[in-house]
């Protein structure tokens, strides 16, 4: 069962937000996903990422799944 994702209000300098948004676009992620990616990477690099953390979906659009045909 999926757990509910936490919501967080984050205040950023507009220039930092713009840079993050551009970087996210280059990597085909939303700005939110880019921030989560960077936080996870920083936690992993510092040896602080908990073992039970789920994997993030890769960048870009998820693969299209065909809809089941009606009979």
**Using CB atoms within 10 A of its CB, is residue 34 exposed (0-12), middle (13-18) or buried (19+)?**
buried
**Domain ranges for the chain:** 14-45
CA dihedral 69, 59, 32, 3 (to 10 degrees): 60
Task: Kindly tell me if the per-residue pLDDT of 71 is higher than 90.
Answer: no
| 16-20, 28-32, 62-66: range with highest mean pLDDT | 16-20
Does the pTM surpass 0.75? The reply is no
Which is higher by pLDDT, 55 or 25? 25
């Amino acid at each position: 069962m999926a757990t509910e994702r936490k919501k967080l209000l984050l205040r950023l300098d507009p220039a930092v937000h713009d840079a993050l948004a551009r970087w996210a676009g280059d990597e085909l992620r939303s700005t939110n996903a880019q921030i989560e990616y960077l936080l996870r990477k920083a936690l992993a690099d510092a040896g602080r990422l908990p073992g039970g953390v789920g994997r993030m979906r890769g960048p870009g659009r998820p693969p299209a799944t065909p809809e089941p045909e009606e009979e």
